[in-house]
Each structure stands twice: as C-alpha cells, then as structure tokens.
Amino acid sequence: MRFGFPRWTRKQDPSARAAKERLQVLLAHERAGGPGPDVFPELQRDILAVIKRHMKIDDDAVDIQMERGEGQSSLEINIELPAARG
C-alpha cells in the first residue's frame, strides 16, 4: 500500500502521537471532461455515516478537508478514534 499517515504528525504535538487509533479516508475524483456534478458533499456525509455504523467516533475528532480543481476534486477525512483498550 503506497500511502499511510505522514500527515498525522503535521497537526499533532509529540504527546498526541502516543497511543492513538486513527482512520484516514482519502477520495480523489478525476474528471477528464472538466467540471461536472459535485457529489463530494453527499459522499462525505454518507461515508461518515457508514463509518459511524461500524466504529465509535466523536464528531469533534473528525477533520475534513475538501479541495476542488478544474478536473480533479479531493476529500480527506482524518478521524482520531477513542483508543480501543486501556
């Protein structure tokens, strides 16, 4: 797998990077024909709802970044999960 969590440390102070559980979701939509219907807001809402069905997440531990370009849009969801144990 080519990607991981390089960006976590960017927003985390050293102590916050200790025993954490994290989920990162990245979406990239490339439209060869230029702009089209923007489905990312609905995808974001529904994907978060799916994640909440399977994992316990606090809304204030969810960081969302969306970028829209001419032919490419991207969505990044970073979620810090309550540590499963101890």
Size of the site for a second copy (CB under 8 A): 44
Q: Which of 12, 43, 57, 62 binds a second copy (CB under 8 A)?
A: 43
User: How far is the C-alpha of 14 from the C-alpha of 22, rounded, in Å?
Assistant: 15
Write out the two tokens for 32: 């060869």
Amino acid at 21: E
Is residue 18 within the footprint of a second copy (CB under 8 A)? Answer: yes
Q: Judged by CB under 8 A, does residue 76 bind a second copy?
A: yes
Task: Answer yes or no whether residue 58 interacts with a second copy by CB under 8 A.
Answer: no
Q: Does residue 56 touch a second copy according to CB under 8 A?
A: no
Separation of first and last alpha carbons in the chain = 29
